Amino acid sequence: MNIAERLRAMREERELSQGDIERRTGLLRCYVSRVENGHTIPAVETLEKFARALGMPLYHLMYDGNEPPKAATVSKTRALDGLWGNSGKDARVLRKLSVSLSHMSGQDRELILGMAHRMAQAARRHAPK
């Protein structure tokens, strides 16, 4: 089942109209229709709005099981050796950063990541060539 069919099926299962989804998400009804008919591919943020409007976690839109899917494990390969955050102290720092970011609100996370991006751009501009 593709995402468009799944969204429609979930909406109809809850006996909601496209107008109800419009009111709950702020998305236009014609946009909801385009998504459900497969004419538009929604962004993840939009899928989050749909999930909230339908009263379900986001993964339910893409997963048929009753329990959350198990996290994929990534095996170490030589291609990953030498990358920052792959081992040692850097990996611990990256793991702490990841946990901290996951506990923040979306607005705070965007603020911090935006600031880090601007700092990295400034560092690149001032780096010796």
pTM (2 d.p.): 0.52
Give the per-residue pLDDT at 74: 54
Give which of 112, 116, 99, 11 is closest to 54, Cα–Cα.
Answer: 11
Give the per-residue pLDDT at 71: 64
Residue type, 51: A
Residue ranges covered by each domain of the chain? 3-61, 88-126
Kindly report the average pLDDT of the chain as a whole number. 82
- Average pLDDT rounded to a whole number, residues 102-120: 84
Q: Is the pLDDT of residue 76 over 90?
A: no
User: Residues 21-30: pLDDT tens digits?
Assistant: 999 999 999 9
Return the DSSP state at 58. G
Architecture of domain 3-61: Orthogonal Bundle (1.10)
| C-alpha distance from residue 94 to each of 81, 86, 90 (Å) | 15, 9, 6
